[in-house]
Amino acid sequence: MRQVELDGNVYRIGHLSPMRQFHIFRRLAPLIAAVPSPDTSGQADAVDNFHRQLGENLAPLVDAVGRLTDDEGNYIILNTLRAVERQVGNGWARLIASGPDGQPLLMFEDMDLSVMMQLVWATFQENLQRFFSSPEPASSVAPFPMVSR
């Protein structure tokens, strides 16, 4: 579990179940496909090259975000934020609770879009980053074949 501080508040990024990770990833797939892979040729300016490529490919990324339905966007945001807690005094409070009608409810109205999206990104990194890195095979299990982009 990792902690991040945003806008004067401390948040704790928790674990998403593997099934929730899968369903979030499934909805994010069009966005992930729109982002260029970084140049891994070992050049010193690989980061600058990646940022240039990202800038050149921003239109497809924005288009992919725009094609998400409200339900898909809500699913991604609300389900990633279910893994996040905010420090309140000496304790922690979940960001998302069930409202009276059973629908997810954001518990802190003082959060803005920037904080919310940074928490979504941090949760995505914490829970799904290993999916995009080279697997470390266990001694008795063959590695899952990852798609190299």
Predicted pLDDT at 13 = 96
Predicted pLDDT at 141 = 44
The Cα–Cα gap between 6 and 111 comes to 10
Q: Is the pLDDT of residue 113 over 60?
A: yes
| Mean pLDDT, rounded, for 100-119 | 91
Q: Is the pLDDT of residue 138 over 80?
A: no
| Mean pLDDT, rounded, for 93-122 | 91
The answer, as to whether pTM is greater than 0.85, is no
C-beta of residue 53 within 8 angstroms of C-beta of residue 39: yes
Residue (of 12, 24, 9) closest to 131 by Cα position: 24
Size of the chain in residues: 149
How many alpha carbons lie under 13 Å from residue 141 in its C-beta half-sphere? 7
Q: Enter the tokens of residue 137.
A: 């095979």
pLDDT bracket for residue 53 (50, 70, 90): low
